[in-house]
Chain A
Amino acid sequence: MATVPKLDVLICGGASCISNHSHDIKDKIFEELKKNGIEDEVRVIETGCMGPCELGPVMLVYPDKVFYQRLKPSDIETIVSDHFVKGRPVEEKVLVSETTRAIIEKGQQDTDFFKKQTKVVLSNCGRIDPENIEEYISENGYAALGSVLTSSTPDEVVETIKKSGLRGRGGGGFPTGRKWEFVKNTTNDQKYVVCNADEGDPGAFMDRSVLEGDPHCIIEGMSIAAYTVGANKGYVYIRAEYPLAIKRLEHAIEEAREYGFLGENIFETDFSFDLEIRIGAGAFVCGEETALIASIEGERGNPRPRPPFPAISGLWGKPTLLNNVETYANIRHIILKGWEWYASIGTETSKGTKVFALSGKIKNTGLIEVPMGTTLRELIFDIGGGVPDGKKFKAVQLGGPSGGCVPEEYLDTPIDYETLIELGAMMGSGGVIVMDEDTCMVNTARFFLDFTKSESCGKCVPCRVGLVQLHALLDKIVKGNGELEDLDKLEKLCYSVKKTSLCGLGQTAPNPVLSTLRYFKDEYLEHIQDHRCRAKVCTNLVTYTIVEDACRSCGICAKNCPVDCISGEKGVPYVINQDICISCGTCYDVCPFDAITTES
């Protein structure tokens, strides 16, 4: 008989840790285990994302619950010999509490990062081997599907989902139960369920993490949906940039077929269902449901007018249920724990938890899951650890490139679909980008417009041309050529683009402009009237000067200046000729002695 392993070693196999060489660490562990002759005593499992990407690569050792962070392959020899063989954790690689500076010995739950989280969608991520269906099953996997197929009618499932209060996690927040009901009530011989895994927002990676860390929960969620609406075929639309998610989902689909969770007569009922993956080429607009459907059909991923809605006429003209990854990931939990449990989490209008991806000027970048109703402040300062380097918080951008920027005064707002809309932002996919005092809000608006204008499919006029003109107006302001009337033009055009665009891309793309105009109009005015950028970001409005005392006359600035406007000689501080300077900022970046200052 094989030996029962004494230790379970979970190595994070999320994309972020893999990019930080977690596979080399895994290989090294196997090598060391062999060297020490303890291969049979230690079981090594590669999991999905554990969340604290900032600390990666990370590794969790059970049953001791020791959480290693920022590992390098060179750390492994000691960890294996001291910890795995002798039982003494290597303290310098173990996570230390932010507050008490104490070594985390009792596991992750003690850190601030984890304490305020409630993991539902991510409950398996980082805890099980995503490539082993047995581990999913041991976590009650496919129990929800079995229960639904054998003891619930589709109407009952719809009721459960409706009562749970679950709303679409793709951003729109449409009540999931009602969507399912529409598709269920549409009569047709052929219906489809589709999973939108075309996570296009820069800075959002929750769907990827779920697919990488717990792919079976998507298969199960889609199967329950298919049973409910009467579909026998499903598609998961994933972007090609997610090769690991694709690989793991492919593997999971194979396993599910082998175990009879996909295919004919699932759980020996009349229900048959199978899934296929469709790989998208990465256009942002393909996250829009009608464009996504067009893309699955093999057409150019352009949005189509609604109505007809996909529930009536979707994929190949058939009734189609389309939800995103996170929505499907909630389903099994609602079925297993009951709608009452789910509805008890969150706010009046927004139930359950939401996964957010923290990035930007924030200490703990990574993936977190909190109950709806958590405040932005808790999100950013308690879980996220606040703004690093002692800088001042300026704004948080919520909802991806079409979201809005929310200033400090609203940080105590509890997050739900409605409050975010009121603030001029939106839930979107859950991307949270924190900005500090070094961020210029006009330039930020221009940055997001630059993204949305290049991601516009070009089909409808307001989005195709309107975003280009909005961008041009912002560009004009950022370059110091703005006029006061440009603000009116911006606002008016934003309004037309929002109201008249064909799909969600154009309808929301003006949000960064509108929200910054709303909360940071003074910055716009400063750019236009005073030719000043307080964050010193807009190069045309910034003057670079060399501080005499700090200059060591190394000449690196002069060597790198693209317009040769810096002169000087050994022993004498260098000088910038302001008539020639184009404010490109190269000197500022290359000066080894921080002798160059900016003024605006």
Chain B
Amino acid sequence: MGKLVTIKIDGKEIKAEEGSNLLQTARDAGFDIPGLCYYDKVSPSGACRLCLVKIDGMRGLTASCTVKVNEGMNITAFDEELEGHRKAIVELLISEHKLGCMTCEVDSGCGLEDLAYRYDVTVDNLPFPARSEHLPVEATSPVILYDPNKCILCERCVKACYEIQGKGILSFAERGIDTYVATDLGGLWVDSNCDGCGECIQACPVGALVEKPSIGKARKWEITKEETICPYCGVGCRIEVEKKGNEIIRINGADGPANDGRLCVKGRFGYEYQMNDSRLTTPLIKENGAFREASWDEALDLIADKFTGIKNKYGSGAFAGLASARCTNEDNYVFQKFMRAALGTNNVDHCARLCHASTVAGLARAFGSGAMTNSIKEFEHADCILVTGSNTTETHPVIATYIKNAVQKHGAKLIVVDPRRIDLVKYATLWLRQQNGTDVAWLNGMMNVIINEGLADEEFIRSRTEGYEDFAAVVKEYTPERVEEISGIPKEQIIEAARVYAQAENGSIVFSMGITQHITGTDNVLSVANLAMLTGNVGKLYSGVNPLRGQNNVQGACDLGGLPNVYPGYQKVVDPDVKAKFEAKWNAKLDDKVGLSVTEMMDGAGEGTVKALYIMGENPMVSDPNLNHVEASLKKLDFLVVQDIFMTETTQFADVVLPSFSSYEKSGTFTNTERRIQLLNPVLDPPAGTRDDWQILQDISNRMGYKMNFTSAEEIMEEVADVSPIYGGVHFKKLGVEGVQWPCKTDDENDRGVLYLHKDTFSRGLGHFSPVDFIPPAELPDKEYPYMLSTGRILFHYHTGTMTRKVSALNSFESGPYAEISPELAETLNISENDDIRITSRRGSIVTAARITDKVAPLSVFVPFHFAEAAANRLTNDALDPIAKIPELKVAACSVEKA
């Protein structure tokens, strides 16, 4: 808060913050000064001229939206002259506006309509003729419709696209009365780089930009609005759901702590799945190889009986369960409690194993805590951001906007280290293209330069860390020359990157699956941690080591004990004191051994040691590596229960399928990638016949004799707070819109948790430097499989596609599988765009369409993993990181041929 000053508006004295926006200040003080171009999320443009005021000492009239408040300002906001001009401006706007108000999507929610009403301007009493010429409507985007005849050219959309989303796709084309908003200075919307985030629609004060899927669905007054958290990625954007009855009409970005109202195309348009006809609405039991509908009682009794039988016959070790990164914290808590207390096993894991197991392992070892050290909005203020192994624009689109803001608004330097020419490369000061799987080498190389050039933070190393000497001895061997040989990155670039990062006041590292999904995933993470500690870039604002978590609640699923080695709150299962505490709290005898990880469960099932598997909201038949092996394993199980909202590739192998809630229907909490626990709102009624995930688990548990009697998600969180110190201060009543960031240990209302971790001291005390040597990937291209295969996500789809592939808006951007190959490879193999190609690895083979692009390196192939019909994971290698047990999804060798 800046200095308070006194200003006068129409004779009334007002206290306001010095430097604040005059229009906003006046409006906050109750002066309803009109204005259509002012939008508090972007810089003022002063275009509509409606907010003109008179300011003593300033010549002429001044647009108040462009003025900052100063001590002693004396303002006239309303007088006859100003109101006369305002009316004239509204008349001019109406004269060029297509008055299709009765069929307009924003009728009764339109800024211009409101002003026409206020100033009594109608087409009949205009002092001059309305314009008759009509420009063509731009409707080529799959999700956005732009009607230039309704556009008032306020520039809010143009600014939103650039200043908020960092994309700069929209601009004005032509000039004067012919001006319109265009992509690429006048090209077709569909041909542009527009990815459909819809930030422009949200910024539009009139009906010029609207959501195509919402057209004709509802009048504004039929709509009710409720806020909740987006069901997609780990950013945890707050959304405003507009609904008519129980149907979603549209979704807007709401001002949440992680997103400030921003959204991506999935968050805004990816809701259609919720109302898809194929939602499961009744339990299914497989009989003679086919599913039949069953009552809840029958299904739950059957599961309880089967499980009791298996437990009696094979013991607790025969069970395994996959918790879910899509379900709430409360669901996951009950899930692991059921597995541990009712079934008696620590064989609980979930797909975090496949994404950030190595992060948790590595950062726990280096810092004592395996989560994002800093917070999302800090990215905008970092001086240098090193992004590696994260295609942030596609996987965490809203986080990418803050990174772009840092570069575009504040001049931050962005270093991208990635084998692919990802979108962020366009914004980068430096792009280092390493060979897949050589991350330890280039990280050591950067650190070699930093040490040699005296750029290390010696005070930080001395006072905050241990293990430096052993670490430095290893790094010494990684000269830029040697690293160039290993990684393929020119040594000059390594040196430059080292200098840029080390010399930044605040350097932030962002990473994701490109770092973690390797047999050296833990090593990679340790190296990243080393780099941050070496330069003192951890434990302070705008810096840190920031693994981006992929799914909406993957952080929470880990926090709540959906892992085989820890109880909720990362309390180790092998610690006898901890075990004793949980045995007392849960009134049950607990397993004292670390349980099986995802891949080990599949091995166990394949080998016959695991007899029953309980899967809550996961789809390993698409998400897991080496699918042929997964398929064989699932088939061998005695009993498989899957709880989901749709039939999936995995449910086909189930014995019982149970229908549950989608996240729009849920109460409970998600924990986003910045450790922020946020409250969900059940904005829709669930389909009849479905039950909430935790409820189902509790019912089975009770049937098996282990009593749980939670009556609400809130009650579950109370128990979590009781048993898990890092969630100790988390209570629904306290969460509000802002949520809290763990660790949040006290009930104090003002304890909102921790914005950034490891201030003054690391969770483990001293930060630990680990000496890490480079180890090549498990499988590299050879004569038989000559190309480098890598897999990943794309913007328009999510995980195994169970949700996004049921959304026509998203399918219209990208509807099916493809593989990216380089122009060089295409030429060598005589492949044209969209040709079917066969990609084969030692584990399997898929046929998919070729997409020729220089995004990939010349001898590399990239396959998105969302598409079951050409599942990338038929090809991937299930070789594991020895510590984190994460498979090497990012590197495999493959062959390519025309199909």
Contact = CB atoms under 8 A, between A and B. Distances in A.
Contact of A461 (B92, B174, B175): B92
A458 B89 contact: no
A84 B291 CA distance: 111
Contact of B172 (A458, A462, A465): A458
A501 interface: yes
Contacts of A466: 88, 92
A464 interface: yes
Contacts of B128: 469, 472-473, 489, 493
A473 B131 CA distance: 13
Given A305-B63, A496-B85, A500-B49, A468 B177 contact: yes
A469 B176 CA distance: 12
Given A458-B177, A465-B95, A500 B89 contact: yes
Contacts of B95: 465, 469
B172 to A, nearest CB: 6
Contacts of A467: 176
Q: Bin chain B's interface residue count.
A: 35 or more
A516 interface: no
A468 B131 CA distance: 10
Given A464-B153, A472-B129, A496-B88, A501 B175 contact: no
Contacts of B177: 453, 456, 458, 464-465, 468
Contacts of B44: 305
A458 B85 contact: no
Contacts of A32: none
Interface range, A side: 20 to 34
A467 B176 CA distance: 9
B454 interface: no
Given A283-B175, A473-B128, A499-B61, A462 B155 contact: no
A305 B45 contact: yes
Contact of B84 (A285, A455, A464, A496): A496
A571 interface: no
A462 B127 contact: no
B176 A454 contact: yes
Contact of B85 (A285, A454, A460, A500): A500
Given A460-B47, A462-B49, A466-B92, A500 B176 contact: no
A461 B176 contact: no
Interface in B164-200: 171-172, 174-179
B176 A502 contact: no
Given A469-B95, A493-B88, A460 B129 contact: no
B99 to A, nearest CB: 15
A307 interface: yes
Contacts of B67: 307
B46 interface: yes
Nearest to B96: A465
Most buried by A among B47, B48, B52: B47
Interface string A481-514: 0000000010011001001111000000000000
**Most chain B CB atoms below 10 A, which of A453, A458, A462, A467:** A458
B48 A460 contact: yes
Nearest to B90: A461
Nearest to A470: B128
Given A462-B49, A472-B128, A300 B153 contact: no
Contacts of A499: 60-61, 85
Contacts of B171: 300
A393 B155 CA distance: 46
A457 interface: yes
Contacts of B20: none
Interface in B58-88: 60-61, 63, 66-67, 84-85, 88
Interface string A283-316: 1010000000000000010101101000000000
Contacts of B175: 283, 285, 454-458
Interface in B128-164: 128-129, 131, 152-153, 155
B80 to A, nearest CB: 13
B49 to A, nearest CB: 5
Nearest to B155: A459
Contacts of B304: none
Contacts of B89: 461-462, 496, 500
Contacts of A502: 46-47, 49, 63
Contact of A456 (B84, B88, B96, B176): B176
Nearest to B50: A461
A48 B172 CA distance: 39
Given A305-B63, A499-B61, A502-B49, A459 B153 contact: yes
Determine the main DSSP class of A at the interface with B: helix
A466 B178 CA distance: 13
B93 interface: yes
A281 to B, nearest CB: 11
Contacts of B46: 304-305, 460, 502
Contacts of A501: 49
Nearest to A507: B60
B49 A460 contact: yes
Nearest to A453: B176
A473 B95 CA distance: 14
A304, A469, A492 — most chain B CB neighbours (10 Å)? A469
Contacts of A455: 175-176
Contacts of A453: 176-177
Residue in A456, A464, A465, A473 with the greatest tally of chain B CB atoms within 10 Å: A465
A305 B84 contact: no
Contacts of A500: 49, 52, 61, 85, 88-89
A244 to B, nearest CB: 27
A455 B89 CA distance: 20
Given A307-B67, A500-B89, A502-B49, A458 B152 contact: no
Most buried by B among A453, A455, A493: A493
Contacts of B84: 496
Contacts of B50: 461
B107 to A, nearest CB: 22
B757 to A, nearest CB: 35
B151 to A, nearest CB: 11
A284 B206 CA distance: 30
Nearest to B185: A300
Contact of B176 (A304, A458, A493): A458
A458 B174 contact: yes
Contacts of B45: 304-305, 459
B66 A305 contact: yes
Contact of A458 (B49, B93, B153): B153
B48 A489 contact: no
A458 B135 CA distance: 15
Contacts of B49: 460-462, 500-502
A261 to B, nearest CB: 32
Residue among A302, A460, A461 with most chain B CB within 10 A = A461
A283 B175 CA distance: 10
Interface in B27-66: 44-50, 52, 60-61, 63, 66
A459 B92 contact: no
A42 B195 CA distance: 69
B111 to A, nearest CB: 13
Interface string B112-140: 00000000000000011101000000000
Given A305-B45, A502-B46, A465 B127 contact: no
4 residue pairs, one from A and one from B, having the closest CB atoms: A458-B179, A305-B46, A305-B66, A465-B92
23 contacts: A304-B45, A305-B63, A305-B66, A453-B177, A455-B175, A456-B176, A457-B176, A457-B179, A458-B175, A458-B176, A459-B172, A459-B179, A460-B47, A461-B152, A461-B153, A465-B92, A468-B96, A468-B131, A469-B95, A472-B128, A493-B127, A500-B52, A500-B85
Given A492-B88, A502-B63, 18 more contacts: A300-B172, A302-B172, A307-B67, A453-B177, A454-B175, A455-B175, A460-B47, A461-B50, A461-B89, A461-B93, A468-B177, A472-B128, A496-B89, A499-B61, A499-B85, A500-B89, A502-B46, A502-B47
